[in-house]
Amino acid sequence: MPEIDQTPRVQTPRALTVRSITTEEHGRFLAEHPLASFLQNPEWPRVKVDWRGESVGLFDGGTLRAAALVLFRRLPVPVPGLRNRSLAYVAEGPVFDRSAVPVEAVLPPLVEYLRSRGAFLVRVGLPGVERRWDGAVVRKALAAGGHRSVTDLEPVETDPEAEDLRRRLLAMGWRAPAESAAFEAGQPQFQARIPLQPELYGTERTGKDALDPAVEAALSRMDSTSRRQTRKSTRSELTVTEGTAADLPAWQALYEETARRDGFTGRPQAYFERMFAALNASPGTRCTLYLAHLGEQLLAAAIYVRQGSMGWYVYGASSSEERKRYAPRALQLRQIEDSLAAGCTWYDLGGMSPSLDPEYELAGLTRFKTTMGADVVRTHGEWDYRVNRVLATAFDLYMSRRG
């Protein structure tokens, strides 16, 4: 009887076909993926007017298996033969179920499609989290100053498949993101996120100042100062309301005041007008402008986005007046409350540096976000595929000189 070959075999992924999809097709697909970022929302190109957007679908027969919002940016050189060459950028995408579809079935045909669309470089930020660190531990390590990076600490959660995914991406010719303490171009690899599952850490509070138990659970993650200031904001004479498009000029004035005070370059009002209109035109997505007033005086404002089971604090602004009213804290609390009411499992506070040097220029941001109860997560980061090595190298040189 012949011996049976029991050597395990890797199944070759079935080839997916790629084509443009409509906004409606894309929106229906994202509705089935509640952790998908609003940066993959098919309406987002209406905001990023300096880019050309396209919704791309990957099909197994007639079934849509993966989708990507691709933003194209022309090569910034005035050479006639290169005018149609572009960077193809997929922020926090493509979106697909990696337990059902291997990454080898998605990325190669996507790259070939984007090559045919004139891409010289493809950049993707695959959704997912490699590791998560407890915010309280990060905060203490930052104060102590004895560690170089968050990655030196013991994580509370690790994706067991992350290293395998990394090896497979490298084997396909993708370039891994370089670890940096500064914010990279695109989306930062390290993010601050507050888990909103009360069963993980919940403590209930009773008494006249008690809030909803789920909100109390989120507050219990904050340090004592943030928790006290947040509670104090609820006992002041602040009024928190949801603004409309008509309130965007007031937002812009406060935002520009904040930019001057904190020394950053802000976005124009037109950008926020587009963002407000585009995301609120998308089924299942909300972009909300929150305003905190003391009488007629606007003390703080925030722009919040919710999609699926994620909520994001995207932009904030505050006045130098009446600081002890803690108006920004009141808005953070409102966003947490609304995230919980919508069934969100995470409230995202945005990017942060992995550096634990207390003197580093971004240390204050890490301190603030972890005192708010956020854990630190490391995403897979943004990976590059050089479709045209010469042009990609020239682009890297251009970006390094520009930075």
How far apart are the C-alpha atoms of 291 and 60, rounded to whole Å?
46
- The residue-averaged pLDDT of 21-38 equals 97
Residue 288 · residue 304 · CB < 8 Å: yes
CA-based nearest residue to 306, from 330, 335, 278, 267: 335
pLDDT tens, position by position, 296-308:
999 999 999 999 9
Residue 130 · residue 379 · CB < 8 Å: yes
Residue 283, CB-side half-sphere exposure with 13 Å CA sphere: 10
Residue 379 · residue 171 · CB < 8 Å: no
- Report strand pairing: 346-351 vs 310-318: parallel
What is the CATH superfamily name and number for domain 17-128+382-402?
A: Gcn5-related N-acetyltransferase (GNAT) (3.40.630.30)
How far apart are the C-alpha atoms of 391 and 85, rounded to whole Å?
9
Predicted pLDDT at 184: 67
The band of 392, judged by pLDDT with boundaries at 50, 70 and 90, is: confident
Lowest mean per-residue pLDDT among 117-126, 174-183, 210-219, 287-296? 210-219
Predicted pLDDT at 15: 82
Six token digits for residue 204:
């209930």
Predicted pLDDT at 8: 34
Predicted pLDDT at 211: 58
Lowest mean per-residue pLDDT among 104-113, 252-261, 392-401? 392-401
Predicted pLDDT at 137: 97
pLDDT tens, position by position, 32-47:
999 999 999 999 999 9
- The residue-averaged pLDDT of 144-155 equals 94
Residue 90 · residue 106 · CB < 8 Å: no
Beta bridge partners of 158: 131
Predicted pLDDT at 12: 47
- The residue-averaged pLDDT of 352-374 equals 94
- The residue-averaged pLDDT of 62-88 equals 85
Token pair 């963002």: residue = 275
Predicted pLDDT at 132: 97
The band of 398, judged by pLDDT with boundaries at 50, 70 and 90, is: confident
Please check whether the two domains, 17-128+382-402 and 130-159+179-379, share a CATH topology: yes
Cβ contacts of residue 253 below 8 Å, gap of 6+? none
pLDDT tens, position by position, 120-143:
999 999 999 999 999 999 999 999
Predicted pLDDT at 208: 43
With a pLDDT cut of 90, the percent of the chain lying above it is 80
The band of 288, judged by pLDDT with boundaries at 50, 70 and 90, is: very high
The model's pTM is: 0.90
Predicted pLDDT at 202: 45
Predicted pLDDT at 180: 77
Rg (CA), the chain: 23
Predicted pLDDT at 6: 38
pLDDT tens, position by position, 199-227:
544 444 444 444 578 888 889 999 999 99
The band of 101, judged by pLDDT with boundaries at 50, 70 and 90, is: very high
Cβ contacts of residue 195 below 8 Å, gap of 6+? 201, 345, 346, 375
How far apart are the C-alpha atoms of 349 and 194, rounded to whole Å?
8
**CATH class label, 130-159+179-379:** alpha beta
Residue 117, CB-side half-sphere exposure with 13 Å CA sphere: 26
The band of 1, judged by pLDDT with boundaries at 50, 70 and 90, is: very low
Predicted pLDDT at 278: 97
- The residue-averaged pLDDT of 315-328 equals 96
**What is the signed CA dihedral for 72, 77, 79, 84, rounded to 10 degrees?**
0
Domain ranges of the chain: 17-128+382-402, 130-159+179-379
User: In whole numbers, what is the pLDDT of the chain averaged over residues?
Assistant: 90
Predicted pLDDT at 336: 96
Residue 68 parent element (H or E): strand 63-74
Dihedral sign (CA 123, 126, 129, 135): positive
How far apart are the C-alpha atoms of 117 and 139, rounded to whole Å?
46
CA-based nearest residue to 306, from 283, 327, 328, 331: 283
Strands (E) located in 253-360: 285-294, 297-307, 310-318, 346-351
With a pLDDT cut of 70, the percent of the chain lying above it is 89
Residue 134 · residue 161 · CB < 8 Å: no
